[in-house]
Structure 1
Amino acid sequence: MATLAQATHRAFLSRGAVRATAAASVLCASMALSGCSKDSTADAKPTATPSASSAAPTAASPSADPQSAEKNAVLAAYTGFWAEQVKAYAKADTKGTELKKYATLDALSQIDIDVSRMQKAGTVAQGQPTHDSKVTVLDASKKIPDATITDCLDISNWKETKAKTGQVIPFPSNQPTRYQTSASAEKWGNQWLITKVTTHGDQHC
């Protein structure tokens, strides 16, 4: 009977909470303002006029990546998908999760298989994985825009345990705990959805 560690090595783990993220980034900019005063006495020396270069305001530089907003939306879906999968594995049940908000039925089928096996084995997953994900391909010109996410998945702190006792089930000796995964996503309406996740256990990161 497959363990969680073996399941991660198959076709697909998802959503989690990433550091992620999985989720959307917030840019924060700060600006320092300073003032100056002028001496009003008759014999005061005139204040030097600032050079044109120092007086001119700095123009905001354009975004280096015109697709950054869409990429952030893709990563937000990926992060949400993993977060909900972690919830499902923590109780060996997809009920009460929002997995369908972030993934298609094809992508969710493997999670359903994993959860079913965990229920039969009486196991759950404790902790959570970490990610280093980025969008490597994005084509927004298609009728259904799609994208590819590359992730360095670390499952060393996401361990399968016996549900009743909390006993940790060790990883198989040949199970890598940090390796590459890739995910496909499509934009359905205004929402990006994960359609497939593939693990690459032989590609360490």
Structure 2
Amino acid sequence: MAGQQATEAYVGMWQAMARAGETSNWQAPELAQYATGNALTTITRSLYADHFNHVVSRGRPKNNPTVSAVDPPNNPSTVRINDCGDSTNWLQYKEGTNEPVDNSPGGRRSIVAEVKKQADGSWKVDRFAVEGLGSC
């Protein structure tokens, strides 16, 4: 149950980030439904930088999350997730154009995330790390 709820929050975070990225909306309220702490700060800073630089994203990432740890086992409050996220169809463009920001085709990256149970019983991504292109 905890693993499933944490995984749903994890995938929800990436989808919310993709939707917010369409307009580089670093203030999208939906982001806080799935992320908190360092994860939320990382996302909002990234989206703000995109906004400042007139960069938008198009498409959606593909995620393949698996639960790698549940702690404590009997009454979980933290779930660790490993993923091999694919950004092939989630790329960045200069705002108002079809011009890619770089020539990177996107691709697969190793991602590790920590999802925590909140006081209200919901699950939110607290932190995550994304490795370089081709890392999985």
Please give the range of the TM-score, normalised by the shorter of the 2 chains.
0.7 to 0.9
> Aligned partner of 2:131: which letter?
H
Report if aligned partners of 1:144, 1:188 keep a CA contact under 8 Å in 2. no
Question: Cα gap change, 1:140/1:151 in structure 2, threshold over 3 Å: closer, same or farther?
Answer: same
Which residue number corresponds to residue 23 of structure 2?
Answer: 91
1:49-68 equivalent positions in 2, closer than 5 A: none
Identity of aligned residues (%): 24
Q: Take 1:114 and 1:142, find their aligned partners in 2: how far apart are those partners? A: 36
- Which of 99, 103, 127 is 1:196 aligned to? 127
Q: What is the DSSP-based 3-state SS (H/G/I as helix, E as strand, rest coil) of the residue aligned with 1:180? A: strand
Q: What is the DSSP-based 3-state SS (H/G/I as helix, E as strand, rest coil) of the residue aligned with 2:111? A: strand
Report if aligned partners of 1:176, 1:201 keep a CA contact under 8 Å in 2. no
- Superposed CA RMSD in Å reads 2.2
Task: Pick the structure with more strand per residue.
Answer: 2
Q: What is the DSSP-based 3-state SS (H/G/I as helix, E as strand, rest coil) of the residue aligned with 1:170? A: coil
> Aligned partner of 1:201: which letter?
G
Larger Rg: 1 or 2?
1
List 4+ stretches of structure 1 deviating above 4 A. Answer: 141-144
Which residue number corresponds to residue 151 of structure 1?
Answer: 83
Structure 2 gap segments, 5+ residues each:
none
Q: What is the DSSP-based 3-state SS (H/G/I as helix, E as strand, rest coil) of the residue aligned with 1:164? A: coil
Query: Scaled by the length of structure 1, what TM-score is found?
Result: 0.60
Structure 1 gap segments, 5+ residues each:
1-68
Report if aligned partners of 1:87, 1:97 keep a CA contact under 8 Å in 2. no
Q: Take 1:176 and 1:159, find their aligned partners in 2: how far apart are those partners? A: 7
Number of positions where the alignment pairs a residue of Structure 1 with one of Structure 2: 135
1:77 aligns with 2:16: no
Question: Cα gap change, 1:106/1:188 in structure 2, threshold over 3 Å: closer, same or farther?
Answer: same
Which residue number corresponds to residue 168 of structure 1?
Answer: 100
